[in-house]
Chain A
Amino acid sequence: MGSPFDINGGACVAMVGKDCVAIACDLRLGMQALTISNNFPKIFNYAPSTYLGLTGLATDVNTVSDLFRYKVNMYRLREERHISPSDPGQPGQLIVPFICGFDSIGCIDFAKDFIVSGTASDQLFGTCEGLWEPDLGPEDLFETISQALLSAVDRDALSGWGAQVYIIEKDKVTQRLLKGRQD
């Protein structure tokens, strides 16, 4: 029996740009080498510009995303405001791009550049190190994160089968579906 992190497969990546961030995931759900679904998104939306990507055991992806939906909804009811990943300061002041990652026991990785996770994380580290550069605009960031993800999952048997990309700007979020290789 393999590690629970590798049973279902999947990959996720987030990147910082200039006044924007991007987060992307693949769409595969597998049972070991057998692909069950090519429509299993791993990115979840919790507030207007707050997204969470979860990779690993699919049952836990569901559990954790539901738990966060509950917690975030309770926060919104209690505080009459949306939650945000870091202290946004005063609305109207500069809102800065922010990404971070967690390992499975909750250790935070505050990154200035990119965060990767999933069975393709080794490959993603390589493609991101190669393609990412500072201060990319929304369109360039989309191109960069898409190429980084698609190239990485092509070299991972447990990830791929299409991808979902979110480009988050100050007052706009764009979601794009990438077909990718279906094999």
Chain B
Amino acid sequence: MADRYSFSLTTFSPSGKLVQIEYALNAVNQGVTALGIKATNGIVLATEKKSSSPLIDPPSLSKISLITPDIGMVYAGMGPDYRVLVDKARKVSHTGYKRIYNEYPPTRILVQDVARVVQEATQSGGVRPYGVSLLVAGWDEGIEPEAADIKNDSDSPAKPAGKTGGILKGGPSLYQVDPSGSYYPWKATAIGKHATSAKTFLEKRYTEGLELEDAIHIALLTLKETIEGEMNGDTIEIGIVGPPADHLLGYEGVEGAQGPRFRKLTKEQIEDYLTNL
């Protein structure tokens, strides 16, 4: 009887559940752990690159992706579903935003667009929900949190949107998107197999006013708690949103040009962090 509601994606069970979506979450919870930590001056995304065979060539595996120059993404769950979502996120950031407004979407708008894609897969015929949870990290131009506080004091009419996530609010933001299409803003979180223990660890380690370097350190410590294999530059993947990386621009001497804030750390950079752990 209980199974009567497990096949049709769009049929609620009497208790109000959509079991296919819960199964998608189960797929996520079997996936390799990924985590994200927001700092005052950036965000770190980290995950384990687990290879099933020693013959796999690690540098060609990539789990953290750039979506726009200032937004990056990591996943837990099914790799192929993730790649589809990365393609769709990149596409929608242009068709739905950059080609209209001539600038890249703010993080919250991009997250809403991706969440819409994910939600549509829970209410359409002939499809299954995406078997991934995503962590989306991005930096928005606008009034940064500290500046907003100062501005509030002076009783100015241009009131920043404050905690609502209004886009006047600039600076770093970190979101999780689930197979249901729901999304949550986090200071720090983890998804995947060891998400619960990683989150407990992060709760102990996270402090307000964290710097990006500290966040990378905590991210590696958290991964260390849950990692199954060895920890080195080949088995760890780190993406950061930090200060504009003008050296990645590919050219110089153009006034006003700003490098991408999102970049992935190289194997050597990761190993440097690991030796200082």
Residues of A within 8 A of B (CB): 78-81, 86-87, 89-92
Contact = CB atoms under 8 A, between A and B. Distances in A.
Given A80-B167, A81-B166, A81-B168, A92 B143 contact: yes
Nearest to B105: A79
A98 B180 CA distance: 43
A50 B212 CA distance: 37
Nearest to B141: A90
Contacts of A80: 161, 164-168
Nearest to B158: A91
Contacts of A92: 143, 147, 151
A80 B161 CA distance: 8
14 contacts: A78-B109, A79-B106, A79-B167, A80-B161, A80-B166, A80-B168, A81-B161, A81-B167, A81-B168, A89-B141, A90-B141, A90-B142, A90-B170, A91-B143
B114 to A, nearest CB: 15
Interface in B110-162: 141-143, 147, 151, 158, 161
Contacts of B143: 90-92
Contacts of A86: 102
B255 interface: no
A89 B256 CA distance: 10
A91 B103 contact: no
Contacts of A81: 161, 166-168
Say what secondary structure dominates the interface of chain B: loop
Contacts, number: 29
B113 to A, nearest CB: 10
B105 to A, nearest CB: 9
Say what secondary structure dominates the interface of chain A: loop
B166 A87 contact: no
Contact of A87 (B103, B147, B165, B170): B103
Contacts of B102: 86-87
B20 to A, nearest CB: 29
A98 to B, nearest CB: 12
A81 B169 CA distance: 10
4 closest cross-chain pairs (CB), A and B: A80-B166, A81-B167, A79-B167, A87-B103
Given A80-B161, A81-B161, A91 B168 contact: yes
A79 B151 CA distance: 20
Nearest to A91: B143
A53 to B, nearest CB: 20
Nearest to A80: B166
A89 to B, nearest CB: 7
Nearest to B147: A92
Interface string B162-198: 0011111010000000000000000000000000000
Given A91-B143, A91-B168, A92-B151, 4 more contacts: A79-B167, A80-B161, A80-B165, A80-B167
Contacts of A78: 109
A62 B102 CA distance: 26
Given A90-B142, A91-B142, A92-B143, A79 B109 contact: yes
Interface string B72-104: 000000000000000000000000000000110
Nearest to B144: A90
Nearest to A84: B101
A79 B109 CA distance: 7
Contacts of A89: 141
Contacts of B167: 79-81
A87 B151 CA distance: 21
A92 B148 CA distance: 11
A78 B167 CA distance: 10
Contacts of A90: 141-143, 170
A81 B161 CA distance: 8
A179 to B, nearest CB: 33
Nearest to B165: A80
A91 B160 CA distance: 10
Contacts of B166: 80-81
Nearest to A87: B103
